[in-house]
Chains A and B, each alone.
Chain A
Amino acid sequence: MPGASAVARRPVLPGFVRATLGFLRSQPFAIAGLAIYLLFIVMAIFADQIATHDPREILFRGAYRVARYLPPSATHYLGTTAGGRDVFSQLVHGSRSALKVGVTAAFFVVVIGTLLGLLSGYLGGWVDRVIMRISDIILGLPFLPFVLVISALTRPGTTTLVASVALMLWPNTARVIRSQVLSLRERGWVEAARVTGCSTPRIIFVHIAPQVAPLAALYGSIAVGWAILTEASASFLGFGDPAAISWGLMLQDAFANQALSRGVWSWFVPPGICIVLLVLAGFLVSRGSEKLLFPKLGD
């Protein structure tokens, strides 16, 4: 009886795991998104094992002839670059920097945005006014030009990119969290906590924060995509970390070395597909969780 073992096993699963599994079964979009994330995480962890060559190594064929623009083959799955490096190995290692940029930027967007949104919404008054005015100003700054100017005026690199992406994106999260908190703070249980003598920090972080966590996570999954797209664009324009191996830099390398006019599709198409998939995964996950968060909106 196949059913019996399932029934016997079920109580072992903690409640939240079961809830997550149930949610996933009803959300094909979210499953697809998570599967893509998983694929790239595996790729990043085992990059050294999956890659066929050292992504930085200049390869030679025969005596002192750099292996430039080699077509895809059994040894070079996606051919080689103008500098004689293996495209496939660069692609695999590029997943590391993409995930690093995406996840750290999203982390800071969520933390800063949630924190300021909570304070702004719950405390109100001048705290609210100051935070909202700052977010107004940031929304008046053009996104990519600002990132470029910051990168140019400081040291270009991954840290600068992540910091400026976090700086530019927190207001969206903060505003949404704030409006959520504005309605939550009027609820009875918050009033009850206040009456029983809970301190303000305790009400904010213990009682209200968990309620807005799913919303924050939704904005985080979108921020992952934004950060990766921004890193790619900045790298493409020459404001990335030149020592890193990233998909944006691969595309810049290909563009600058006439990959387009030479028709080396195997060089400039795969990095773009990887970016699309990873950003798309964030959209899919957030679309899926949107249904959970705002059932009315669902399609």
Chain B
Amino acid sequence: MKRFGARILHAAFVLWAVATLTFLLFRLMPGDPTLNFLSDSFSEEMRADLLQSFGLDKPLPEQYLIYLTSLLRGDLGVSFLQKRPVLDILMAALPNTAALTITALVIAYVFGIIAGAFLAFARGTVTEGIAIPAALITRAAPEFWLGMLLLSWLSFAWGIFPSGGANVAGSEFTSEWARMTSPDFLWHLVLPALTLALYLQGLPLLLMRATMLEVLNDEFIVMARMKGLSRWAIVMRHAARNALLPVATAFALGLGSSFGGNVVIETVFSWPGLGRVLVSAVQGADYPLAQGAFIMIAAVLVLMNMVADLLYAWLDPRVSVGARR
């Protein structure tokens, strides 16, 4: 339990440091954030008013204190351009990103684990000679390019899937849940999720294969074989269970990094998620929104890093938290 607490404290420290770094980045960089926001017709007085309303007229330490306290209360400020609370905008985008990321990760890991375990038995065969380079290629390809290929092929050339967005324009739903379970939403989800899954499956596949190869040489496997257990039972009940350990950790880490890494895929498929909010906020110099989106993406990353560490320690009692990263 003590280790558990220490890991949470560590995550809190990293979160604080990231929040501070974000504050400094957005304040100290050259350029006046209001310049992009104001048109030439604004008077100096109106500009001062605006700065005041965003709290930008106060000295930096005071701004920092206000920033930290409002962050703790979950107040991320108001968007320059949309004039809506940043948190509302982010919360509207979050379910889309979560749906995309989780669907893609589940597909990628189910496929990767099965294919990886299978490949561990196919050592030295032609299958291995094709599958390993193929897995490496999907990891070397830019995600957005994979998306472009699938788009041009399955959407534009064959017209099977829609080319972008999360719902048909103008469609209305009684609730967020009704929207996300509608066939229309799921149909729009297929291509982006498939692209992301294609990009992500290489890691669990290679990881599963490598750990399986290691586990298969362990003594308890030899023991199981000597007991006369079938190959299938050995793989499923003994080997895979132990080989899954690093894969489970990678899953948690992948969840954290994909939330931010989705930026390009969401752009290719015009998927209304967090990454796209960030990109358009940064492009439009909407500083409160960009800052809020960045902090939210970073918070998910830090939390999932923590979960990965705890998961690893929980699954493998031999490891102490913090000893391994």
Question: Which A residues are within 8 Å of any B CB, using their own CB?
Answer: 133, 136-137, 139-146, 148-150, 152-154, 175, 225, 229, 232-233, 236-238, 248, 251, 254-255, 259-261, 263, 265, 268-269, 271-272, 275-277, 279-280, 283-284, 287, 297, 299
Contact = CB atoms under 8 A, between A and B. Distances in A.
B282 A149 contact: yes
B142 A137 contact: no
A242 to B, nearest CB: 13
B29 A154 contact: yes
Pairs A-B, 7 closest by C-beta atoms = A142-B260, A272-B145, A279-B140, A153-B29, A140-B14, A260-B152, A280-B140
Contact of B282 (A148, A233, A248, A269): A148
Contacts of A141: 18, 21, 298, 301
Contact of B21 (A137, A142, A232, A259): A137
- What is the interface of chain A mostly: helix, strand, loop, or mixed? helix
Contacts of A148: 263, 278-279, 282
B94 to A, nearest CB: 15
A248 B143 CA distance: 12
Contact of A152 (B15, B123, B283): B283
B149 interface: yes
8 contacts: A136-B14, A145-B298, A148-B278, A152-B282, A153-B26, A236-B264, A260-B155, A283-B140
A263 B148 contact: no
B282 A275 contact: no
Contacts of A133: 13
B15 A237 contact: no
B144 interface: yes
Contacts of B145: 232, 251, 268, 271-272, 275-276
Contact of A265 (B152, B261, B268): B152
A137 B148 contact: no
Contacts of B156: 260-261, 263
B149 to A, nearest CB: 7
A149 B294 contact: yes
Nearest to B263: A144
Contact of B136 (A259, A260, A283): A283
B10 interface: yes
Interface residues of B, number: 55
Contact of B294 (A142, A261, A279, A280): A142
Contacts of B193: none
Interface in B23-46: 25-26, 29-31
A136 B21 CA distance: 13
A229 B26 contact: no
A233 B148 CA distance: 13
B140 A233 contact: no
Given A136-B14, A145-B294, A272 B263 contact: no
B136 A251 contact: no
Nearest to A258: B156
A238 B284 CA distance: 12
B251 interface: no
B144 to A, nearest CB: 5
A148 B279 CA distance: 8
Given A140-B301, A145-B263, A149-B282, A276 B137 contact: yes
B259 interface: yes
Contacts of B294: 142, 145-146, 149
Contacts of A152: 282-283, 285, 290
Contacts of A136: 10, 13-14
A233 B264 contact: yes
B204 interface: no
Nearest to A268: B148
B63 interface: no
B210 A272 contact: no
Contacts of B264: 144, 233, 236-237
Contact of A140 (B136, B152, B305): B305
A297 B206 CA distance: 13
B89 to A, nearest CB: 16
Nearest to B291: A149
Interface in B87-124: 123
A248 B148 CA distance: 13
A137 B14 CA distance: 5
A299 B211 CA distance: 11
